Amino acid sequence: MFLRGKLPAVTRIEDGHRAVFGRAVAECSPAVWRLARRLAATRADAEDLFQETFLRAWRGIRRFRGDAAISTWLTRILLNVAHDRRRRARPLPTAVAPPAPTGADPADGLARRELLGRVLAAIDRLPRRQRECLLLKARGGLAVREVAEVLGIGEAAVKSHLLAARKKLVRKFGREVDE
């Protein structure tokens, strides 16, 4: 699952910045990459998201007091970067589907990619909170509690957003996914 475990709180702020950031990169970068890859339309966008996330994290490391897990903090930054980019430029997560598993029927793979593309486009049209809850839960693999922590909202609110998003998607893609 995504971003388990907390780093110890930073006690000696000045001396600890590099250490905290170094551990954040070592322990969280795979998870940040995974989520960035799933939030972004292309691999290149994901790389930008990843780099911008860590750049912002390092520049803002003095504001990180260790109250929350650094993974939560990084995820929040990642979501903000993604949101900013989405607001500034083109829609973000009409993602390119991952390649079909090796050995699978290419026709199935194509159909799956095509369906995934449409599902992601539908998610892209959801309200921000619904979209973030759904993506963090379904693509990031976070528990409701972790989603709530990342987004800074209550668990009940997360469930409410999640339910709304799920209902819309089930209604829209019910038959296609079953097939």
Chain contacts with other proteins (rule: CB under 8 A): 17-18, 21-22, 25, 29-30, 33-34, 37-38, 42-45, 47-52, 54-55, 58-63, 85, 89, 97-99, 101, 112, 115-116, 119-120, 138-139, 141, 144, 159, 162-163, 166-167, 169-171, 173-174, 177-178
Q: Which amino acid is at 74?
A: L
Looking at residue 4, the DSSP 8-state letter turns out to be -
Of residues 5 and 59, the one with the C-beta less far from other proteins: 59
CA distance linking residue 39 with residue 23, whole number of Å: 23
Tell me how far, at minimum, the Cβ of 132 lies from other proteins, in Å.
14
**Cα angle 95-81-27, degrees, rounded to a multiple of 5:** 90
Tell me how far, at minimum, the Cβ of 152 lies from other proteins, in Å.
19
CA distance linking residue 1 with residue 140, whole number of Å: 8
Instruction: Evaluate the CA torsion angle 83, 46, 40, 163 in order and state its sign.
Output: negative
Length of the chain (residues): 179
- Tell me the longest C-alpha to C-alpha distance in the chain: 57
Q: Which amino acid is at 171?
A: R
Tell me how far, at minimum, the Cβ of 8 lies from other proteins, in Å.
19
Instruction: Evaluate the CA torsion angle 87, 130, 100, 4 in order and state its sign.
Output: positive
Tell me how far, at minimum, the Cβ of 25 lies from other proteins, in Å.
5
Tell me how far, at minimum, the Cβ of 81 lies from other proteins, in Å.
10
